[in-house]
Structure 1
Amino acid sequence: MKIDAMQSIMICIALALSFAHSGESGFPIKPKKVRCRDAKHLWCHLLWQHCPVQCPTSCAVDCVTCKPVCSCNYPGAVCQDPRFVGGDGVAFYFHGKKDKDFCLVSDDNLHINARFIGKRGANMTRDFTWVQSIGILYDDHQILVAAKKTSTWDSNVDRLTLALDGKSIPLRTGEGALWGSSTAPYVRLTRISETNSVSIEVEGILKVTAVVVPITAEESRKHAYNITDENCFAHLELGFKFYKLSDNVDGVLGQTYRKNYVTRVKMVLPMPVMGGNDKFSASRIFAADCAASQFIGHNLPGKTITENAALHCSSSRIQGLGVVCKK
């Protein structure tokens, strides 16, 4: 059978696209499908698109441009080991320590801590770390967002834990599923995919996107994580958008939103690292007691906050951060 010039070109293009969507091992990576859910952008609303080659499983649609963008490259992103993109647009790493809590953002009426999980790398003086959960404080309220511990990863199984003021949030699975609080400031949760991905908006304060992802075998091989079948270290990839911050805001990420902030990390290094474990260390997921804390929300007139000791959370051995929290 003869193949003319046009057929040859088409075959080459098809092969190029196939390899472009493949991992280093040569096996194809199926790009995630995403769409704009903001009805204000009618020409883009609900139009399915595939994630870019650079981030085949971690992207979102920019409804304004109607183009898929890599979620981990925008200001407010916290992904990977953990890699932050500050409010100034500068990317840096903050390693922290495994099984410890660190203050990401602290302002007068907003405080966000993150629980780090990880393991010690061979012949290394530090831990490989990832963000397993976040605790959000505002007014006299607490929101928990956590990834459940899992061994074998199945993207069809939801691994998200969500709780408001110690009570599990009954958000059903399925893209577009909604849940809202009944009191102000109103909290609105939206599933942005069938499972493992959610948008959380606290009226007038912030919006967070949280996606549960595993450490894949390819990532483990590439970075020498030595991940076993017992635990795929499911963790959160996060995107923050803040509606109201003061110029006193602090925290690993929060400080980068100050008007005159100048980064202290050495950008000439291949992995620019932010130090400050002691400054940003917190005693618990809901404790605003790091040295950088600016939080006074629980001291607002007429406000009281439930102490952590009054909460009991349990799960599949995630050291107290779990599926159900009870007062």
Structure 2
Amino acid sequence: MTRRLVLLFILLLTVALVAEAATRKPKKVKCKDKKFYECFKKKDLYCPETCPRSCDIDCESCQPFCVPPPSKPPPPTPNPTLTPPISPQPPMPPVSPSPPPSDGSEAAGGKRVRCKNKAYGTCYNMEHRCPAACPDYCEVDCVTCSPVCNCNKPGAVCQDPRFVGADGITFYFHGKKDKEFCIVTDSNLHINAHFIGRRNANMGRDFTWVQSLGILFDDHQIFVGAQKTGLWDNSIDHLDMSFDGVPVFLLPQDGAKRQLATGVSIARSGSDTNSVVIEVENNFQIKATVVPITKHDSKVHKYGITEEDCFAHLDLGFKFYSLSGEVNGVLGQTYARNYTSRVKMGIDMPVLGGQREFASSGLFSTDCAVARFKKTESLISSNTFEYGNLNCASGFDGRGVVCKR
């Protein structure tokens, strides 16, 4: 009889705990930065379903995202009074001082970066060095006044396409080499990505990277791509850009900027020759950086990269200002209303499928299965001609490409 009562008690306790967990609402979060007033005044922002009780909010995009659990505290420092005495060591011979490592190297602590936003007075222009995880590519988060890797923030698309969704969850979408895929599609924004890659005989897929973007909004088109190159030289401009089919040229210096139309601009990102920021007011901002596959990366991942082609590609960071709840695309879907991640978590490399639903017939086509973009009449008329197949002297070629003269 006692045993039955114990079992009944355990069953009732389990039911009560399950019922409590089911009724717990996601944690409410709030933007505390008045600089982003539209987000600051919102009171109905909740953690994503994938992390209902542990999240933060990106005030600029006004999107809650998952945050990892806090790291374990360091072990306690041993009591110096209990440390055994150390035997004196013989003096070391004098060593000639070596020259300091060049700026930007991992040994030097990484590239120097600064906060450029004057609204953050205590952090503005303060120098930081990139973390060891990304010694050459990072930027300063002026809010926390600390350097962060460009590829670790929500909205990032980097490497063998590694996506970080609006919820902060990282996943991979491999697509297929020499094909285009829709990564964002909404009523007034459509972004396709052209993938390049290499076939690995020991795998059932291609190694792929994003080599160029075709961006459509209002009645405009923007193209940004990485030129094909053999040996990498970061001092050389490897970017190709055009606006409505007209090539865009920027001086390779800090502060270089072009105003392409009302509210539309392209500017160099700091002093980095191969990095630009594309911005359309009240719509989006894209930071695009051309990077190579290094010999070290190729050796570690067995890419098989040779000196004939370093597979220069784009590392990307996206910010969106006016997405609707129906937005879709490989990355765009993570910003949609009621989005639930399809990624299988708990594995080293969570992969998202859906090649068929995201596949597009061209870099400026809006015919993927999940397309949401509504073309204007002027854009429809501008798309009635076919882009030619061009072979540029730079080695960058393909449909929809404009060669520099």
| Separation in 2, partners of 1:297, 1:30 | 48
1:35 Cα deviation after fit: 1.9
Partner residue of 1:204? Answer: 282
Q: Is the 8 A contact 1:311 1:325 kept in 2?
A: no
Tell me the alpha carbon deviations over residues 93-130 of structure 1, each in whole angstroms, 9 at most, x when there is no partner.
Answer: 00000000000000000000000000001311110000
Matching residue within 99, 104, 109 for 2:183: 104
Letter paired with 2:254: E
**Which protein shows a greater Rg?**
2
What TM-score do you get using the length of structure 2 for normalisation? 0.70
Q: Which residue of 2 aligns with 1:66?
A: 145
Contact 1:145-1:162 within 8 A present in 2 as well: yes
1:167–1:324 CA contact under 8 A, matched in 2: no
Q: 1:275 is paired with a residue of what secondary structure?
A: coil
Aligned partners of 1:166 and 1:311 also within 8 Å: no
Superposed counterparts of 1:63-212, under 5 Å? 63-181=142-260, 183-212=261-290
Q: 1:264 aligns with which of 327, 339, 342?
A: 342
Native 8 Å contact 2:285 2:319 kept in 1? yes
- Structure 1 residues 152 and 291: CA distance shift in structure 2, 3 A: same
5 Å-filtered alignment, 1:214-225, equals 214-225=292-303
Measured on the aligned residues, the alpha-carbon RMSD in Å equals: 2.8
Secondary structure of the corresponding residue to residue 245 of structure 1: coil
Matched, 1:32 2:108: no
The residue identity in structure 2 corresponding to 1:235 is: H
Do residues 226 (structure 1) and 304 (structure 2) align? yes
Deviation, structure 1 residue 308 = 6.7
Q: In the aligned structure 2, how far is the partner of 1:286 from the partner of 1:236?
A: 18
Q: Tell me, in whole angstroms, the C-alpha distance in 2 between the residues paired with 1:79 and 1:194.
A: 17
> 2-side partners of 1:46 and 1:167: how far apart?
35
Q: Choose which of 360, 365, 373 in structure 2 pairs with 1:287.
A: 365
Report 1:226-245 matches (<5 A): 226-245=304-323
Report the more deviating stretch, 33-42 or 160-169. Answer: 33-42
> 1:309 — aligned with what?
385
Unaligned runs of 5+ in 1: 12-17
Bigger RCO of structures 1 and 2 (CA < 8 A, at least 6 apart):
1
Q: Percent identical across equivalent pairs?
A: 50
Identify if the C-alpha distance between structure 1 residues 150 and 218 changes in structure 2 by more than 3 Å, giving closer, same or farther.
same
- TM alignment of 1:9-48, pairs within 5 A: 28=107, 31-48=110-127
Question: Given the superposition, is the C-alpha separation of residues 304 and 318 from structure 1 closer, same or farther in structure 2, using an over 3 Å criterion?
Answer: closer
Task: Report deviation, 1:65.
Answer: 1.9
Alpha-carbon distance in 2 for matches of 1:214, 1:146: 13
Structure 2, unmatched stretches of 5+, are 1-87, 96-100
CA distance in 1, matches of 2:337, 2:404: 38
Q: Counterparts of 1:307 and 1:244 in 2: how far apart (Å)? A: 25
Assess, with a 3 A threshold, how the Cα gap between structure 1 residues 306 and 321 changes in structure 2: closer, same or farther. Answer: closer
User: So what's the TM-score if we normalise by structure 1?
Assistant: 0.86
SS for the counterpart of 1:195 is: strand
Tell me, in whole angstroms, the C-alpha distance in 1 between the residues paired with 2:381 and 2:207: 34
Counterpart check, 1:49 vs 2:125: no
